[in-house]
Structure 1
C-alpha cells in the first residue's frame, strides 16, 4: 500500500514539474502568430496605379527593355481615363494631315493662354515652356499609341467652344484606350496586380527610393524591390480632407465629381512623405455644374438655362466653357438654375417633382413667388428674369449669350434648383522635372521616383482645363516617365 502511495506521489510531482517548466518558458509575442505574411517581389520598374498614366508608363518602360509590375488598388483598371471620352488633343499629327485638317501648335497655344486668363489673374502657372514641350510630346504620344500599342482613332473633332478638329477620339471612349493598353501589356507578360494598394515608398539611408510596400487582396504584405517607382495614382477629387487642405473653396465637391473612385491623393501623399515638394495653387478640374437631384444631369451643360446667385442676379453668360462655369459657381455663395414648364424641360421637371419637398428645389406660379421660395431679393430676381426674357425676344442678351441659347422663361409653374460645382479631377500634385522625376523643395531629384498625370499636372494649368488635354497629359507623362526610367536603371 505504501509502495502504491509512493508511486502516486512521484507521478504527481512529475506532472507538477512539467507544468512549471512549461510556464517558465519565454512566452511567444502576442502578435508573432498574427504577423502578416510577407511576400517579396523584385522588378526593374514598379508602377503605382493602372489608369491611363500608369498603363502608358508600364507599356513605355517595357518597350524600352524594363521588367515591370503594375499595382492597382481597385479591383479593375482604368482610373479617370476609362470614365472619359478618351479624346486626346494634339496638333499636326499624321492623322490630321490624312484628313486634310489644318492646325498648328500656335493655334492651340493661343487658346490655352486665352482660357487660363479667365481666372486667378495673378496665378503662378502655367509654365508655358513646359506647355510648349507638352504640345510637341503630345504628337509623339498620339502616334505612339497607334503605332506601338495598336490603338485606333475613329474620328478627329472639336468640342463645344473648342471647334478646331484636334481631339483624337476612339470609337468607344476612354475604356477603349485602357483596354488597348491593358491588352498590350498582357500580351507582353507584364503583371498587373489589382486590389493591391501601395501603402508607402521604401527608401534607403540616402533618401533614394528603392521600392514600394503594398497590401495584397487578402491583407498580405508585399514588399516590391524596384530600381524605379512611377506614381500614377491620380488626383484627390474624391478625398474631402485633401480638398479642404488644398482647395477649401471646393470643399464638398467630392460627392458631385466624376473622377475615378481611386482619386484620393494616395501617390501625392506617399511622395510628400519622402520629401517631395508640392505644387502651389492646387485647384479642381471643372466639368460644369451639377445638382443634388437625381435625373437632372442634362442641366449641366445646357446653355439655354438661366443662372442666378443669392442676390437674384445673373453673374455670368451661361454660354461658357464647362471648366469656367465650375469656377464661376465656386465664386458664388448660392446658385440657382431657373426654368419654366416648357415641354423641353419635361424630364427635368419630373425629376424635380419627384424630389420635392426639398430645400434643393423651389416652385411657384409667378416670378415674385419663386423668388420668395428661393429666399432671394424679389425685386432683383423679377428684374433679372424680365431682362432675360426681353433679350430672348430681341435676340440681344444683356450678357452676350448667342440668340439660339437665350430661351425665355415664360410658362408657369416656374422652378429653380440649386446648382453646385461639378468636377472631374484636380490640378496639383508633386513637382517634377521634364522627365517627370519627382523633386524636393531645393530642386534636387528624389532618385528613382517619378510621377505623372494628376499626381503632377499643375504645371500645365492655372484654373481652367483645356478639352482633350487631361487624357493626353496622362498618357504623355506616363510614356515619358516609363521611357526615362527604363533607360536609366543603372
Structure 2
C-alpha cells in the first residue's frame, strides 16, 4: 500500500483557516476529544477521511469498561475502583502494558463516561449478566442498543448539537511543523484532488492503527497475515508513518485485538458472552482445543491453527437466548449463520466429524473438576444444539506512537513533542505487545479515555499559548 503521508517543515503556513485543535479522525476518540474540548471552551475541527464517520468503533460491539461510574454504582456495584481495573488490565497483559498509561486510562474512563452522560446525553447501561474475560467486576458499559454503530451515532449527534465543525472526505496527508518541532497545521486532500491547509495551535492524531495495511500486517503481525480483517479499511498505518518521519518512538507494534468468533462466511462478530457462559468451540475433528474463557483475542490464533482455520461455536437453548440479546448475533442469524441440530449425530454431520469423538467431547463437559485445559463447566450442553461456523480475525491493532500519560507523543529519547498529541488507534495502547494481552474493551477504553485526556492536554496547551501571546 503506497500512502502519501508527509511531514512539511516551515516557520509558517498560508492556511485557509485556523483552529485551536485540529483532530485527525472522527471515530470515538476524536469525537470524545472534540466534546471535551467544547466543554473546556476550546475551538476545534474534526477531519475525517470518509463521507460518514464510522471507523473501528462502528464495527465493534460498542462496549466500554469503566469503574466507579454513576451507572455502575446505581446498579449496586460499589467495590470497583480505578486501582482494581488497572490490576485487571496488567494481569491480562502479564505486566507488559505501560504502567503510567494503564493508570491514566483507568482513572480517566469513569469520569469521561459520566461527563458524556451528564453533558451530552449518552445514556449508558451496565452489562451485569456476565463477566467478560479478565474482568473481576461488572464494569462493561454500553448504550441500550448494544452496538458500536449506535455509539458512533450518539457521539456524532452530540458533536452536531454542540456545533463542532466536522470536515468529511478530508484525507489528511501532511503534517506541518516548525523548526522547533511544533505542529502548526495540516494539509488535507479533497475528493477533487485539491489540497487545503488548516492551521492549528495543537494537533491530535486520533486516526487509526495499521490493521488495514496488508504490508504492515505481514511485517509486524505475521501470524495474522492471512486472517480475515474485521476492522475498518481506513486503518492504514498513517500515524505510524508520520511518527517514523518525525523520529517519534513507537511501542507495542506486536499487540492487537484478534477475535476467535468471526462468523463465516457472513462476516460478523459473535458475542463471546456465549462462550463465557458455557458455550464451546469445536474443531472439524469434533474436539475442543483451548480454554475459551481466556479471551476472544488470543482465540483468533488458536482457531486459525485448527484444520481449515475454522471452528464451530456450539451452545444450547439457554445460551441461544443470551445470544439473542446482542444485535450482531441476530443479524448473523438472519443471514443464515445459525444451525440447529436436534441430536449429536446431526451436530456431527454439521461439523463434519465422527459421532463418537463429538459425543466424548460433549460428555467431558459433565466432568466434575477442571478440564485438561483448566476450564471448569457448571453444566453440560443439552439438545437441541446450536452451531455457528467461525474463523479467527484481526480486528484492530494495539501498537502505535509512544505517548506519555498526558497523550503527548514522545521522541526516541523519551522527551515529548511540544503540541503533538495521539490517542486511540494512533497510539500504543494498554494491551502489551502480544495478542493475549488484550483485555475486553481495551480498544474503546483507549479511544474514550485517551480522547478525554488528550482534550485536557490540548486545552491546557492552547490556553497557555494564547496567554503567552496575550490573546
TM-score, normalised on structure 1?
A: 0.73
Query: Cα 1:409–1:277, aligned 2, differ >3 Å: closer, same or farther?
Result: farther
Question: Which of 208, 221, 224 in structure 1 is aligned with 2:182?
Answer: 208
Which aligned pairs between 1:106-185 and structure 2 lie closer than 5 A?
106-117=83-94, 125-157=96-128, 158-161=130-133, 162=135, 164-172=137-145, 173-185=147-159
SS, match of residue 326 in structure 1:
helix
Are the aligned partners of 2:204 and 2:422 in contact in 1 as well (CA < 8 Å)? yes
Q: C-alpha distance in 2, partners of 1:212/1:442?
A: 25
8 Å contact 2:257–2:297 — kept in the other structure? Answer: yes
Q: Is the 8 A contact 1:276 1:440 kept in 2?
A: yes
What are the Cα deviations for residues 20-79 of structure 1, in whole angstroms up to 9, with x where unaligned? xxxxxxxxxxxxxxxxxx972222211000001111112222322322111000111232
Change (3 A) 1:246 1:420: same
**Residue 104, structure 1, aligned to residue 80, structure 2:** yes
CA RMSD of aligned residues (A): 3.9
Report if aligned partners of 2:303, 2:311 keep a CA contact under 8 Å in 1. Answer: no
* Structure 1 contact 62–486 (Cα < 8 Å) conserved: no
Match of 1:41 in 2: 17
Matches within 5 A, 1:40-79: 40-79=16-55
Q: Distance in 2 between matches of 1:266 and 1:43?
A: 22
Q: Cα offset for 1:229?
A: 0.9
After TM superposition, list the pairs within 5 Å mapping 1:214-253 onto structure 2: 214-253=188-227
Q: How is 1:22-421 mapped onto 2 (pairs within 5 angstroms)? A: 40-105=16-81, 106-117=83-94, 125-157=96-128, 158-161=130-133, 162=135, 164-172=137-145, 173-253=147-227, 255-257=228-230, 259-290=231-262, 292-294=264-266, 303=275, 304-308=279-283, 314-329=288-303, 335-337=309-311, 385=358, 387-392=360-365, 394=367, 397-403=371-377, 406-407=380-381, 420-421=391-392
Cα deviation, 1:329-378, whole Å, max 9, x if unaligned, reads 356685442689x9999x99x96999xxxxxxxxx9998x999x89xxxx
SS of the equivalent of 1:95 reads helix
Alpha-carbon distance between aligned partners in 2 of 1:402 and 1:211, rounded to the nearest angstrom: 56
* Aligned counterparts of 1:338 and 1:472: Cα–Cα separation in 2: 30
Contact 2:175–2:186 (CA under 8 A) maintained in structure 1: yes
TM-score, length basis structure 2? 0.76
Larger radius of gyration: 1
Q: 2 CA distance for matches of 1:352 and 1:86?
A: 22
Query: For the residues of structure 1 that align with 2:350 and 2:160, how far apart are their CA atoms?
Result: 58
Match of 2:446 among 468, 473, 484: 473
Matched positions, count: 422
1:309/1:245 CA distance change after superposition, 3 Å = farther
Give CA-to-partner distance per residue, 1:379-429, whole Å, 9 cap, x none.
Answer: xx9996464244146566444444466549999xxx996x53223211101
- In the TM superposition, residue 299 of structure 1 has moved relative to its aligned partner by 9.6
Question: Is the CA contact (8 Å cut-off) linking 1:40 and 1:222 kept in structure 2?
Answer: yes
Residue 444 in structure 1 maps to residue 411 in structure 2: no
2:106 counterpart SS class: helix
Partner of 1:488: 461
Conserved? CA contact 1:103–1:166, under 8 Å = no
Contact in 2 for aligned 1:288/1:423 (Cα 8 Å):
no
Residues of 1 paired with 2:268 and 2:281: CA distance? 15
For residues 480 and 416 of structure 1, the distance between their equivalents in structure 2, rounded to whole angstroms, comes to 40
Change in 2 beyond 3 A, CA 1:416/1:460: closer
**Counterpart Cα distance in 2 of 1:85 and 1:444:** 36
> Mean alpha-carbon deviation: is it higher for 431-440 or for 53-62?
53-62
Secondary structure at 2:400 match in 1:
coil
Conserved 8 A contact 1:170-1:177 = yes
User: Could you tell me how far apart the structure 2 residues matched to 1:416 and 1:82 are?
Assistant: 23
Q: Report SS of the residue matched to 2:163.
A: coil
- Rounded to whole Å, the distance in 1 between the matches of 2:361 and 2:41 is 62
